[in-house]
Amino acid sequence: MTQMDDAKKGIITEEMKIVSEKERIDVEKLKKLIAKGYVVIPKNVNRDTEPVGIGKYLRTKVNANIGTSPDFVDIDLEIKKAKVAEKYGADTIMDLSTGGNLEEIRKAIMNVVNLPIGTVPIYEAGKIAREKYGRVVDMDEDLIFNVIEKQAKEGVDFMTLHCGITKQSVERLKKSGRVLGVVSRGGAFLTAYILYHNKENPLYKNFDYLLEILKEYDVTISLGDGMRPGCLLDNTDRAQIEELIILGELVEKCREKGVQCMVEGPGHIPLNYIETNIKLQKSLCKNAPFYVLGPVVTDIAPGYDHITAAIGGALAGYYGADFLCYVTPSEHLRLPTVEDVKEGVIATKIAAQAADVAKGNKLAWEKEKEMAYARKNHDWKKQYELAIDKEKAKKMREEIPSKEKRACSICGDYCALLMVEKFLR
């Protein structure tokens, strides 16, 4: 049975107890949220990982994408990225590999971290089709579903599956006048398949069969946003909303079958459209957990898109997004390095914390309170412990130290806190 099936039957699982304790939410309330589909705990029955809750009333979670490409394959490097992502606070990791032995890479990553692991199975199906037949578009239904089942058996906890790309939504795309067309890689695989074969998306056509596979292993489905905008000019257009309407219908099917479900959201949105996008998703998808990429709020900062995405992520989280997919400084430019992964995770963790504070999350406010008192008490050790990047905070203070040990070298013995506190006593 899935977590959702258990919740519907009134059963409190060990995973629910762990999430309840970590999030400080009543376990009965959590159980009801899972039963409704407002919260998911992505955890494959074949894998023993630390349970993570994603959804309503819980802290905003952060995902880190890693993985190879056809241009660069280094399993050891991907293992390092996974470890760094876990170290700096990623809640989940997605392996988006498209180069090398995908099964070997996936298993290596799963062996070194204790976080829920996500994949995009259509990547492996497309890679196999190209190697076997010469083209991605020559993948067939059996190949696609065999890959999904194989990954589920391996222990993948959640899968991005672009089920909302249909013949109808592709027609809408043709008429949309978009500047960048389809920027989702998985979305492009399936859009090309539909256009070339003039056939329906196998994931949409056989959605009930797909749910049977996922249910057997309690794999959480993350309904992919294959029509997401790839630049601000394309944001919130008819193609994007057409797909979102379809995803809302599929969410209801997932809940009927007891399959845990999230919905993915757009990548490039100006600040003033973020609230609209969150409210649309929550309405059309009946409060399913919302998983957003960024969002990136300006397109003119290549090399700094971890910042553009953190700005958007903080606002998205405040308006109700539940799960932020990080963006690294190298987005749109190259495969991320270990340092890029670190920077992306930290920037997105900051966004998540800012959103949780604004939403009044008790755990987020406890951290802020601890830091305030650590500063009041000039407790530098505690400040380092509370920092997202502990090493950097300590290193920076020590690089240019102050003669006044309680202060930092910005003010030294002119420290505002020190100057006033002696008189306040």
Binding residue positions for Zn(2+)? 268, 332
C-alpha angle 61/80/66, rounded to 5°? 50
Structure tokens at 357: 């504070």
Structure tokens at 10: 């009134």
Q: What's the rounded Cα separation, in Å, for the pair 314 and 292? A: 11
Structure tokens at 94: 């997605």
Strands 39-40 and 54-55: antiparallel
C-alpha angle 67/298/177, rounded to 5°? 90
Q: Say whether 45 sits in a helix, a strand or coil.
A: coil
Q: What's the rounded Cα separation, in Å, for the pair 177 and 169? A: 14
Q: What's the rounded Cα separation, in Å, for the pair 415 and 23? A: 37
Chain-centre distance for alpha carbon 394: 29
Q: In angstroms, how far apart are the furthest CA atoms of the chain?
A: 80
Q: What's the rounded Cα separation, in Å, for the pair 165 and 167? A: 7
Alpha helices in 60-184 (DSSP H): 75-87, 102-112, 121-133, 141-154, 167-174
Q: How many residues does the chain have?
A: 425
Could you tell me which of 355, 346, 385, 342 has the C-alpha nearest to residue 82? 342
Binding residues: 65, 94, 123, 162, 184-186, 225-228, 264, 268, 291, 332, 408, 411, 415
Could you tell me which of 23, 32, 87 has the C-alpha nearest to residue 60? 23
Binding residues for [4Fe-4S] cluster: 408, 411, 415
DSSP E strands, 269-413 = 290-293, 323-325
Binding residues for substrate: 65, 94, 123, 162, 184-186, 225-228, 264, 291
Q: For residue 39, give the H/E element and its range.
A: strand 39-40
